[in-house]
């Protein structure tokens, strides 16, 4: 089984998410280091998007602000191009959350709106509630 197998993709995502949950940033780095160095032709674009998203989340966790936004933009572009609405919405939501944390809430509004629309359409209620919570924080501070 290779990286293009759905079960491998899902397992990778779950492993990285678990490492983030345990705040094991060394493990996150190790897991990303298994995929990122592979030749472009060997890694599906979806996985490149996932790696860009997780790399951005890792940069944010390490307070490496310069590494956050470029990866989020890359991931969103890839998910948009692939027609992967759930992961596009997750990326937009995380970008919006980061912008709010950075005091740039006004820039987060369109991203949060788009993420909310997608989560609504997908009936992803917990994600929609998360997006609405952040959007209400932006509205309260405006």
Confidence of residue 1 (pLDDT cuts 50, 70, 90): low
Statement to judge: residues 69 and 102 lie in one domain: no
Query: What is the per-residue pLDDT across 33-81, written as a single tens digit (0 to 9) for each?
Result: 999 999 988 999 999 999 999 999 999 999 999 999 999 999 999 999 9
Statement to judge: residues 78 and 88 lie in one domain: no
Look at residues 53, 82, 111 and tell me which one is the last residue of a structural domain. 82
> What pLDDT is attached to residue 35?
95
What is the span of the domain harbouring residue 113?
84-142
Average predicted confidence (pLDDT) for the chain:
94
Statement to judge: residues 50 and 109 lie in one domain: no
Structure tokens at 27: 């493990």
Confidence of residue 141 (pLDDT cuts 50, 70, 90): low
Per-residue three-class SS string for 33-69 = HHHCCCCHHHCCHHHHHHHHHHHHHHHHHCCCHHHCH
Look at residues 37, 60, 82 and tell me which one is the last residue of a structural domain. 82
> What pLDDT is attached to residue 16?
98
pTM: 0.92
Mean pLDDT of the 10-17 span: 97
Statement to judge: residues 7 and 73 lie in one domain: yes
Statement to judge: residues 48 and 91 lie in one domain: no
């Amino acid at each position: 089984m290779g990286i293009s197998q759905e079960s491998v993709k899902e397992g990778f995502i779950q492993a990285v998410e678990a490492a983030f949950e345990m705040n094991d940033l060394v493990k996150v780095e190790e897991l990303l280091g298994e995929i990122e160095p592979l030749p472009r032709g060997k890694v599906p674009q979806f996985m490149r998007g996932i790696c860009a998203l997780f790399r951005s989340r890792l940069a944010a966790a390490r307070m490496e602000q310069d590494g956050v936004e470029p990866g989020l933009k890359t991931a969103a572009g890839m998910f948009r191009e692939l027609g992967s609405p759930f992961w596009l919405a997750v990326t937009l939501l995380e970008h919006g959350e980061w912008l709010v944390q950075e005091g740039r809430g006004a820039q987060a509004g369109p991203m949060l709106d788009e993420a909310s629309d997608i989560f609504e359409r997908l009936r992803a209620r917990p994600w929609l509630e998360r997006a609405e919570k952040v959007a209400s924080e932006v509205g309260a501070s405006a």
